[in-house]
A = this chain, B = another copy of it.
């Protein structure tokens, strides 16, 4: 967040400098009008692209990147989260147990607490909720 403010500050300063520079260059007759306008246009065109990419990138992160804070808020532990990921891969409890070197009853324990924490009745519902929360 501090970085964003810093970058934007620099950007505004750079633009003001460009503004003044082009003005004086024009007045002193070193630069003709079309070139000045063109430079301004190109610079602001790329500034527009840059700003837009930044904001879209953030939105993209929000919609596809994992919300680790939400995982903490829901008090989902490491093991439970591993089980949740395995469920999203379509594995059965037995397969998850084999993958994580655990017994099936341990997996059932984890699944049950996951369902409670996600307020779901089934594993498929848990998946849907987890996707809504951007935690898988």
Report the bound CA distance from A89 to B44 in whole Å.
45
How many copies the complex holds: the figure is: 2
Taking a contact as CB atoms closer than 8 A, the residue among B41, B120, B127 that contacts A40 in the complex is B41
A37 within 8 A of B: yes
Taking a contact as CB atoms closer than 8 A, the residue among B40, B51, B87, B123 that contacts A44 in the complex is B40
Interfacial residues, chain A to chain B (CB-CB below 8 A): 15, 19, 22-23, 26, 33-34, 36-37, 40-53, 56, 87-92, 120-129
21 contacts between A and B (CB under 8 A): A22-B37, A23-B34, A36-B37, A41-B43, A41-B44, A44-B44, A44-B45, A44-B48, A45-B45, A48-B49, A48-B50, A48-B52, A49-B52, A53-B56, A56-B56, A90-B124, A90-B127, A91-B124, A92-B121, A92-B122, A124-B127
